[in-house]
Structure 1
């Protein structure tokens, strides 16, 4: 029986053999390894790891959205997942994922539990339920498992504007799920746990500075349109004791609103 699950890994400057071992990969996979700071030709190679088919794409490029889109274009399995290179999968994750999709044919995408490192938690599913416009923004890309044909048919892709290696900071995962909902795909969350995140330093968060607030404003333009400034103010007001201690609420809001205005001048890519 052919494999049904394929993990799509976005990596940067990694040794592939070590990466496969560290992630505990036990399914087929596509790995896009972006070689930042290196000058070498692009390479595409097929290899086996513990009896599984691994496609490795070595690329001289940067940007997590580009990496995920490249992996998606080279995928060919029924079920796919967008993974980071610091995820460690539990033994038996493949069958857990397949069973959950088989038990829920109504789901185009399932958001599984992958435990984040302490201090970086944004979600933890405690029930099975539909994900909607009110709660989709909590989920990182690595929680997303999807029926590949649904993503391809709706032409949903990751933005090249946001995330590591892109012009603006994180948000590519929220924008991707936003576009999935907009395309009419059915998203559900599940309590099934399939792995955890290895502790490491954030590649994008450098404090609540000008860039943080400005880039958040740009993202809010693409997520919320005409409501971006209102929801941006609400977001900062709600988190003012954490985010605005240094700059103050009103300066932080002004910078975020400047980002919203800048977003209006950009073409979505």
Structure 2
């Protein structure tokens, strides 16, 4: 946690609703609970590592009907609560909604949601946790949680968010995307991305194997050629493909 207190982070993120902040540290510092205007802020600091673990801690201990997942580099727009409520009113059968978030990095701004509509397995892989909202009860009833084997602090790079949304879809829950922006992310660098090296592609292969145990070769092949322009200065397509195929065996 970059801020010196839970309350400072709450204000920095422009939060106005109930919030549960999980902080990972070298020490167990217990929990706090305080009132901020009409909302309740809860915080917990514990001595364990792994982004999936912290997300599951929040998922288990939250008590709201609709939950949003967040990172500490997010700043929510002033009207985010009404935007979320309106979306769930417009899609009453939605179990999960991915909202638009503006990513600001290296002088560029990327918006994550391009259109409103249903999310399926074939178009779900592009959404990160910062876009996620869901009906907590429905997700827990399907025993869906964040993987402890992927994401920061696990040694396997990213992927806990992709596994989460695909597990939601495979459980039969309905997922929608909404173009409305709920937050901005000011990203000054990843905790796991160190360039398009062998480890990066091995991790991708491992993730594709976890996502598609029997059909992993097809997304590996697609990734190799679709994103070739991103990595071709660092590695050949053949080498990238080889690393991903090796990764799926790890």
- Pick the TM interval, shorter chain: over 0.9
Helix, strand or coil at the partner of 1:99:
helix
Q: Residue 254 of structure 1 is aligned with which of 222, 237, 242?
A: 242
> 2:33 aligns to what?
46
Alpha-carbon distance in 1 for matches of 2:115, 2:22: 33
* Structure 1 residue 83: Cα displacement: 0.6
Q: Residue 57 of structure 1 is aligned with which of 44, 50, 55?
A: 44
Q: Residue 151 of structure 1 is aligned with which of 139, 144, 150?
A: 139
Alpha-carbon distance in 1 for matches of 2:59, 2:232: 38
1:232 aligns with 2:220: yes
> 1:141 aligns to what?
129
Q: Is the 8 A contact 2:104 2:110 kept in 1?
A: no
Alpha-carbon distance in 1 for matches of 2:242, 2:111: 29
Alpha-carbon distance in 2 for matches of 1:222, 1:122: 27
Unaligned runs of 5+ in 2: none
Alpha-carbon distance in 2 for matches of 1:84, 1:158: 15
Helix, strand or coil at the partner of 2:215:
helix
Could you tell me the TM-score, scaled by structure 1's length?
A: 0.87
* Structure 1 residue 123: Cα displacement: 5.2
* Structure 1 residue 149: Cα displacement: 0.8
1:24 aligns with 2:26: no
Q: Deviations over 1:151-196 (max 9, x none)?
A: 1100100000111111200011111001001100100001111111
**1:68-217 equivalent positions in 2, closer than 5 A:** 68-118=55-105, 124-217=112-205
Alpha-carbon distance in 1 for matches of 2:130, 2:69: 5
Q: Is the 8 A contact 2:75 2:184 kept in 1?
A: yes
* Structure 1 residue 111: Cα displacement: 0.7
Unaligned runs of 5+ in 1: 1-10, 263-269
> 1:66 aligns to what?
53
Q: Is the 8 A contact 2:101 2:111 kept in 1?
A: no
Alpha-carbon distance in 2 for matches of 1:217, 1:163: 14
Structure 1 residues 190, 67: CA separation in 2 closer, same or farther (over 3 Å shift)? Answer: same
Helix, strand or coil at the partner of 2:248:
helix
Please say which of residues 12-21 and 183-192 is displaced more in the overlay: 12-21
* Structure 1 residue 14: Cα displacement: 5.5
Please say which of residues 65-74 and 44-53 is displaced more in the overlay: 44-53
Alpha-carbon distance in 2 for matches of 1:128, 1:106: 15
Q: Deviations over 1:22-51 (max 9, x none)?
A: 10110001110111xx3x334011112233
What number of residue pairs does the alignment pair up? 249
Please say which of residues 240-249 and 161-170 is displaced more in the overlay: 240-249
Could you tell me the TM-score, scaled by structure 2's length?
A: 0.94
